[in-house]
């Protein structure tokens, strides 16, 4: 370990930072007496937060940022003139262990550019995970990227050491992927996903017969899509997410607002700012799919192919379907209460439990944690009726709930001269 | 105004509850030995901590409360908030007086208040798990200074004992002047005779105490922390919200 590693780490972390996933949840791994580390499960532990507000839970790094591919959206593409570096297996293992000992990280998120061929690259990723688990008896979290096009044997071996594996789809539509990354296709992404899923399901059967059979990717798999680099609508993205969530091992789909890294490439849009609001709305829609029992065609359909950027998808659905409201808080089903804007999973559960003891009014709902600013237009409770979405009309409610633009105070004693140029 | 004066230990508080029933009176104020009395006083009672008394109270509580509610009491006590002892006393009295469990009766002001305190303390405990940073000393011990808002260090020891089972470590609370030391076999509570040693005050190990490669790893971590940030997405507000400024003093990556 020396100063050399410092420069390499800088290069490789900068290459890896566009991967979104950083979760260390989904599995519990106890410490085996006298060895290092454990995995706590639950909500996971974030050890630090970068200045862009994203959490740092895992050491997110690439083994190498040398790549044989030339994907237009990727910072590490072959034709980019950036510093390249490669960490040796032992350097990376040492780095992980020493960071972990100082409580900097929960574990390792390892990915890599493709060198020579997918199998060669995958083999080296597996070596790192294997060394950590078998030689250093490391019980922390390991998230391995599966290289598209890697063989089944290597994915199966990786699964024995990793807690979570992921293959990134990146571009939801194959024709757009072909446009930006001519050397890739969807087949090469779905194939490793299938290997992982089959491995997990086989392992599940095995563990029913033999309790001590080694676990295989216990925290399942995740994937990531880039938002805003190509012409896909939110409908395309969410329908694909929904299809992925139907698979038993798919735990998370991440959305990554496209950061214009290769501005010279004319196939890509020239964005000044990553589409952060759209990304946020997609995550909200994702939550509706996973925790609020929404069907994907209720969130987006042919008439509304894109999410509303001004209001969140749940409110947007409620405004499009005023016929379902107002909901009677003291009588309605849990599923219906969950659909009221301003009521989340926690509040909905509390409502269902507490209404057994006494009727609930506005005051109680507020104490429970309901956002009454939104919810008041969509509910009735034990109190006098107020004006709901049906009386105010969806357009009226929408106007009430939109954030009011801040007016800039102008001092009318001051004469303002407009010096802005009118010529373009 | 009735005042109980006790030794400000949890056992002492349990003895107070015993005396509440013994003397058929409830204090308006709990004071520590040596604290100045307020102006208007009816009665001042000195409570001495007795083992059989507080054991009996604790036995009674264990019969009436679930394990999680008992741990709520501990969390509440460790919050060290002003007036928390009186709140706990009222809560425990309600436990004994009520024929049914009051644990989930959040309409009761004391139950709600205690649950809020629990939430605060539990958050601080989680922050400790997140933001403890070890520095390796030259003798191989990993030293971490902490300065939590509430006295939550004891609540995290099980986690650290399990996680760092193969390295000797010392986590030291520089505000409350005590720590826990793990010697590869067991964890012991420790205090230092000379509390004015520089690293027990600033939390940063001096050059002569630090391990050979420690500086390099700190440098690596700082480099990584800077490199992982996407400049196009800067969001200082969220950054400060998730990692409040009061922790920065002891965070390796936030040192210059």
Suggest the residue from B106, B135, B230 to mutate for an interface test with chain A (most A CBs closer than 10 A): B230
Cβ contacts (< 8 Å) between B228 and chain A: which residues? 13-14, 16-17, 50, 54, 56, 60
Separation in Å, CA B223 to CA A10, A11, A398, B226: 6, 10, 46, 5
Cβ contacts (< 8 Å) between A65 and chain B: which residues? none
Give the ipTM of the model, two decimals please.
0.91
Does B104 score more than 80 pLDDT? no
> Which of B219, B232, B253 is nearest residue A259 as measured by Cβ atoms?
B232
Residue A30 is classified by DSSP as: P
A311's tokens: 């209001």
> Which of B130, B225, B232 is nearest residue A50 as measured by Cβ atoms?
B225
Closest-CA residue of B relative to A35 is B166
Q: What average pLDDT does the segment B46-65 reach?
A: 94
Q: Do A46 and B130 touch (CB under 8 A)?
A: yes
Q: Hey, is the C-beta of A368 within 8 angstroms of any chain B C-beta?
A: no
Cβ count within 10 A of residue B91: 20
Structure confidence at residue B246 (pLDDT): 94
Question: For residues A37 and A211, what is the distance between their CA atoms, to the nearest angstrom?
Answer: 23
Cβ contacts (< 8 Å) between B130 and chain A: which residues? 45-48
Entry field: residues in chain B: 256
User: Would the CA dihedral through B17, B21, B23, B27 be positive or negative?
Assistant: positive
pTM for this predicted structure? 0.89
A264's tokens: 């010279």
Structure confidence at residue A421 (pLDDT): 64
Closest-CA residue of B relative to A137 is B166
Q: Do B230 and A54 touch (CB under 8 A)?
A: yes
Q: Hey, is the C-beta of A135 within 8 angstroms of any chain B C-beta?
A: no
Question: For residues A30 and B108, what is the distance between their CA atoms, to the nearest angstrom?
Answer: 39
Give me the tens of pLDDT residue by residue for chain A, a chain 424 residues long.
777 899 999 999 999 999 888 888 888 888 888 899 999 888 889 999 999 999 999 999 999 999 999 999 999 999 999 999 999 999 999 999 999 999 999 999 999 999 999 999 999 999 999 999 999 999 999 999 999 889 999 999 999 999 999 999 999 999 999 999 988 889 989 999 999 999 999 999 999 999 888 999 999 999 999 998 888 999 999 999 999 999 989 999 999 999 888 888 888 888 888 889 999 999 999 999 999 999 999 999 999 999 999 999 999 999 999 999 999 999 999 999 999 999 999 889 888 888 877 788 888 888 888 999 999 999 998 887 778 888 899 999 999 998 877 777 777 777 777 776 665 5
Does B89 score more than 80 pLDDT? yes
Where do the structural domains in chain B lie, given as residue ranges? 2-123, 132-254
User: Would the CA dihedral through A278, B243, B131, B208 be positive or negative?
Assistant: positive
Structure confidence at residue A423 (pLDDT): 53
Please give, rounded to a whole number of angstroms, the shortest distance from the CA of A93 to a CA of chain B.
Answer: 14
Q: Hey, is the C-beta of A262 within 8 angstroms of any chain B C-beta?
A: no
Q: Hey, is the C-beta of A30 within 8 angstroms of any chain B C-beta?
A: yes
Q: Do A31 and B221 touch (CB under 8 A)?
A: no
Question: For residues B217 and B215, what is the distance between their CA atoms, to the nearest angstrom?
Answer: 6
Q: Do A273 and B232 touch (CB under 8 A)?
A: yes
Closest-CA residue of B relative to A60 is B228
Looking at chain B from residue 7 to 66, which residues have their Cβ under 8 Å from any Cβ of chain A?
none
Suggest the residue from B146, B205, B233 to mutate for an interface test with chain A (most A CBs closer than 10 A): B233
Set out the domains of chain A in order of their start, with CATH numbers.
3-221 (3.20.20), 313-401 (no CATH)
Looking at chain A from residue 100 to 129, which residues have their Cβ under 8 Å from any Cβ of chain B?
101-104
Q: Hey, is the C-beta of B237 within 8 angstroms of any chain A C-beta?
A: yes
Cβ contacts (< 8 Å) between A55 and chain B: which residues? 242
Looking at chain B from residue 68 to 97, which residues have their Cβ under 8 Å from any Cβ of chain A?
none
Structure confidence at residue A141 (pLDDT): 95
Q: Hey, is the C-beta of A334 within 8 angstroms of any chain B C-beta?
A: no
Q: Do B228 and A95 touch (CB under 8 A)?
A: no
Structure confidence at residue A3 (pLDDT): 79
Residue A134 is classified by DSSP as: I
Alpha helices (runs of H) in A20-135, residue ranges in sequence order: 89-101, 118-130
Cβ contacts (< 8 Å) between A9 and chain B: which residues? 220, 223-224, 227
Cβ contacts (< 8 Å) between A61 and chain B: which residues? 224
Q: What average pLDDT does the segment B48-70 reach?
A: 94
Looking at chain B from residue 121 to 160, which residues have their Cβ under 8 Å from any Cβ of chain A?
126, 129-136, 142, 144, 159
* Virtual torsion, Cα A310, A311, A313, A317, nearest 10 deg: -120
Q: pLDDT tens for residues B224-233?
A: 999 999 988 8
Q: Hey, is the C-beta of A263 within 8 angstroms of any chain B C-beta?
A: no
Does B112 score more than 90 pLDDT? no
Radius of gyration of chain A (CA): 25
Give the A:B interface size as CB pairs under 8 Å: 134
**Residues forming beta bridges with residue A256, ordered by sequence position:** A226
Does B72 score more than 90 pLDDT? yes
Q: Who's near A305: CB < 8 A, 6+ residues apart?
A: A233, A234, A235
User: Is residue A422 classed exposed, middle or buried when 0-12, 13-18 and 19+ CB atoms within 10 A define those classes?
Assistant: exposed
Structure confidence at residue A422 (pLDDT): 60
Q: Do A1 and B216 touch (CB under 8 A)?
A: yes
> Which of B227, B242, B251 is nearest residue A14 as measured by Cβ atoms?
B227
Please give, rounded to a whole number of angstroms, the shortest distance from the CA of A34 to a CA of chain B.
Answer: 5
Q: Do A34 and B166 touch (CB under 8 A)?
A: yes
Question: For residues A101 and B135, what is the distance between their CA atoms, to the nearest angstrom?
Answer: 9
Residue A225: what are its φ and ψ, rounded to 5°?
A: -125, 140
Q: Hey, is the C-beta of A49 within 8 angstroms of any chain B C-beta?
A: yes
Distance from the first to the final alpha carbon of chain B: 54
Q: Do B227 and A13 touch (CB under 8 A)?
A: yes
For residue A257, the SS3 value is strand
Q: Do A101 and B136 touch (CB under 8 A)?
A: yes
> Which of A31, A60, A98 is nearest residue B217 as measured by Cβ atoms?
A98
Suggest the residue from B228, B243, B244, B248 to mutate for an interface test with chain A (most A CBs closer than 10 A): B228
Higher pLDDT residue, A269 or B138?
B138
Q: Do A101 and B163 touch (CB under 8 A)?
A: no
Cβ contacts (< 8 Å) between A47 and chain B: which residues? 130-131
Tokens 């083992």 belong to residue: B51
Q: Do A51 and B235 touch (CB under 8 A)?
A: yes
Q: Do A49 and B242 touch (CB under 8 A)?
A: yes
Q: Hey, is the C-beta of B243 within 8 angstroms of any chain A C-beta?
A: yes
Closest-CA residue of B relative to A357 is B105
């Amino acid at each position: 370990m020396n100063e050399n590693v410092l420069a390499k780490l800088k290069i490789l972390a900068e290459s890896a930072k566009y991967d979104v996933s950083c979760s260390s949840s989904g599995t519990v791994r106890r410490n085996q007496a006298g060895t290092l580390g454990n995995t706590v499960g639950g909500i996971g532990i974030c050890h630090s937060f970068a200045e862009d507000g994203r959490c740092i839970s895992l050491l997110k790094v690439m083994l190498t940022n040398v790549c044989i591919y030339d994907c237009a959206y990727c910072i590490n593409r072959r034709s980019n003139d950036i510093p390249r570096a490669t960490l040796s297996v032992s350097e990376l293992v040492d780095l992980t262990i020493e960071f972990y000992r100082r409580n900097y990280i929960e574990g390792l998120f390892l990915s890599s550019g493709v060198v020579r061929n997918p199998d060669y690259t995958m083999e080296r990723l597996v070596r790192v995970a294997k060394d950590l688990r078998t030689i250093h008896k490391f019980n922390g979290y390991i998230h391995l990227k599966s290289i598209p096009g890697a063989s089944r044997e290597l994915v199966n071996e990786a699964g024995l050491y990793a807690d979570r594996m992921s293959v990134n789809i990146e571009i939801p539509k194959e024709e757009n992927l072909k446009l930006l990354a001519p050397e890739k296709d969807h087949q090469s992404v779905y194939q490793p996903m299938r290997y992982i899923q089959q491995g997990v399901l086989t392992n599940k059967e095995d563990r029913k017969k033999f309790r001590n059979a080694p676990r295989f990717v216990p925290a399942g798999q995740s994937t990531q899509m880039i938002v805003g680099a190509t012409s896909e609508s939110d409908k395309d993205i969410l329908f694909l997410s929904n299809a992925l969530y139907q698979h038993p091992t798919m735990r998370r789909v991440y959305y990554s607002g496209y950061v214009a890294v290769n501005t010279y490439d004319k196939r890509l849009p020239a964005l000044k700012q990553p589409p952060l609001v759209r990304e946020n709305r997609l995550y909200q829609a994702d939550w509706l799919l996973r925790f609020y029992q929404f069907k994907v065609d209720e969130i987006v359909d042919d008439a509304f192919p894109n999410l509303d950027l001004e209001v969140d998808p749940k409110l947007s659905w409620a405004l499009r379907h005023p016929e379902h409201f107002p909901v009677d808080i003291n009588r309605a089903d849990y599923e219906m209460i969950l659909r009221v804007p301003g009521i989340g999973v926690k509040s909905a559960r509390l409502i269902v439990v507490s209404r057994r003891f006494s009727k609930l009014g506005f005051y109680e709902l507020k104490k429970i944690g309901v956002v009454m600013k939104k919810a008041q237009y969509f509910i009735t409770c034990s109190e006098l009726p107020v004006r709901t979405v049906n009386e105010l009309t969806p357009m009226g409610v929408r106007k009430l709930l939109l954030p009011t633009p801040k007016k800039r105070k102008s001092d009318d004693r001051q004469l303002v001269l407009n010096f802005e140029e009118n010529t373009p | 105004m009735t005042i109980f004066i006790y030794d400000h230990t949890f056992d002492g508080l349990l003895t107070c509850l015993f005396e509440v029933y013994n003397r058929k009176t409830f204090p308006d104020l709990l004071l520590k030995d040596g604290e100045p009395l307020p102006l208007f006083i009816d009665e001042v009672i000195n409570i001495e901590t007795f083992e059989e008394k507080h054991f009996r109270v604790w036995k009674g509580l264990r019969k009436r409360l679930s394990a999680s509610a008992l741990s709520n009491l501990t969390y509440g006590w460790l919050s060290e908030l002003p007036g928390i002892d009186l709140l706990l006393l009222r809560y425990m009295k309600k436990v004994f007086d009520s024929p049914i469990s009051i644990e989930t009766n959040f309409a009761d002001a004391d139950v709600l208040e205690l649950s809020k305190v629990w939430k605060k303390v539990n958050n601080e405990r989680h922050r400790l798990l997140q933001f403890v940073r070890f520095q390796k000393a030259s003798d191989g011990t990993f030293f971490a200074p902490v300065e939590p808002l509430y006295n939550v260090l004891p609540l995290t020891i099980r986690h650290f004992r399990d996680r760092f089972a193969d390295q000797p470590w010392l986590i030291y609370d520089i505000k409350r002047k005590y720590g826990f030391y793990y010697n590869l076999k067991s964890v012991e509570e420790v205090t230092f005779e000379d509390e004015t040693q520089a690293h027990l005050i600033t939390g940063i190990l001096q050059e002569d105490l630090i391990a050979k490669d420690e500086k390099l790893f700190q440098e690596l971590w700082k480099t990584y922390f800077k490199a992982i940030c996407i400049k196009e997405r800067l969001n200082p507000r969220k950054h400060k919200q998730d990692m409040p400024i009061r922790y920065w003093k002891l965070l390796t990556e936030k040192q210059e």
